[in-house]
Amino acid sequence: MSYKIDADTMKSLQKAQKNEITEYHIYSKLSSFIKNKQNSNILQQIAQDELRHHNRLKKFTGTDMKPNILKVYFYTFISVIFGITFGIKLMEKGESSSEKLYGELGNNIEEFKIISNEENKHEKELIEIIEEEKLQFVGSMVLGLNDALVELTGTLAGLTFALKNTRLIALSGLITGIAASLSMAASEYLSTRTEKDSSLALKSSLYTGGTYVFTVACLVLPYLLFSNYVLCLVITIIAAILIILIFNFYISVAKDLPFRQRFFEMSGISLGVAGISFIIGYLVRLFLGVDV
């Protein structure tokens, strides 16, 4: 080996080697959990790639590395709960330093060039082949989430100053939200049945309606827990922003979409509608002389 590896680079290689063996165990565990045969085979193939990378790095470090057990269980748990595509892509985002190292060393050492090519192309192509129900119905979830956030934040903001009674606001919000969720689910079912395979229509409508109901519950909950209507509105708006943040982070990772633009766009629309509805609620109360 004509190229001399310095002490700092050796430490980085040992860290990368530990990552490779850790990811080998993660992919192996996930492949044993998954019922879909194609997905299981893909994960086994990636696991073998990671093990091969670990063994190649061993030629330079001279040591066998043990996996990070906490990381193995963490990413396995994340993948089981939120989907294997999300879990894997979240994990792969933490590999950027290793990929950069492989790319730099690949200019001088052929072994690292091979590893770099496999990391950048082969494994990413395999991950894209994975079929997952959650991602097939992301459009339905986005529809339910967007509509619930815009409609319910606006409705609750308007009702807050129109009624000034948290119980009445919660009651009105729940009735509006549940009715709207049923309407959205029915509309999604009818539109999906005409556009796609009818067997997917029911699942699509359930994802839309389920996401809508979940969002409604989160936004209305403060009005059931607290008596101060202004505090409830503030908590509801914070909850809406958190839901937007978490959901857009999930989508940006799982579908490789830009996070910041989508987050600010959804937040701006929801808060804008809430602000306008807040003013309308106040004006309606003022002009009609309603006092609850």
Do the Cβ atoms of 158 and 281 come closer than 8 Å?
yes
| Amino acid residing at 126 | L
DSSP code at position 289: T
DSSP code at position 122: I
| Amino acid residing at 20 | E
Q: Tens digits of per-residue pLDDT, 245-283?
A: 888 888 888 777 888 888 888 888 878 877 787 787 777
Say whether pLDDT at 93 is over 60: yes
| Amino acid residing at 66 | K
Tell me the C-alpha distance between 201 and 181, whole Å: 16
Burial (CB < 10 A; 0-12, 13-18, 19+), residue 247, is buried
Say whether pLDDT at 186 is over 80: yes
Burial (CB < 10 A; 0-12, 13-18, 19+), residue 252, is middle
CA atoms within 13 A on the CB side of 33: 15
Torsion sign (Cα): 215, 218, 222, 224: positive
Which stretches does DSSP call E strand in the chain? none
pLDDT: is 110 or 85 the higher one?
A: 85
| pTM for the full predicted model | 0.76
| Cβ partners under 8 Å of residue 89, min gap 6 | 127, 253, 254, 256
Residue of 123, 119, 24 lying closest to 75 (CA atoms): 24
The domain locations on the chain are 7-133, 137-288
Do the Cβ atoms of 156 and 174 come closer than 8 Å?
no
Stretch 57-75: mean pLDDT? 90
From 6-15, 19-28, 99-108, 156-165, the region with the lowest mean pLDDT:
99-108
Which architecture does CATH list for 7-133? Up-down Bundle (1.20)
Per-residue tokens: 214: 């979940």
Highest mean predicted confidence (pLDDT) among 53-62, 70-79, 117-126, 248-257: 70-79
Say whether pLDDT at 188 is over 90: no
Distance between terminal CA atoms of the chain?
84
Per-residue tokens: 266: 């959804």
| Cβ partners under 8 Å of residue 133, min gap 6 | 203
Tell me the C-alpha distance between 219 and 226, whole Å: 13
Tell me the C-alpha distance between 240 and 284, whole Å: 25
pLDDT at 1: 46
Average pLDDT, whole number, for the chain? Answer: 82
Stretch 98-118: mean pLDDT? 74
Q: Tens digits of per-residue pLDDT, 133-174?
A: 667 777 677 777 777 888 888 888 888 877 888 999 999 999
pLDDT at 77: 92
CA-angle at 73, arms to 70 and 75, nearest 5°: 105
* Percentage above 90 pLDDT, the chain: 18
Q: Tens digits of per-residue pLDDT, 210-235?
A: 888 998 999 999 999 999 999 999 99
pLDDT at 123: 64
Do the Cβ atoms of 229 and 173 come closer than 8 Å?
no
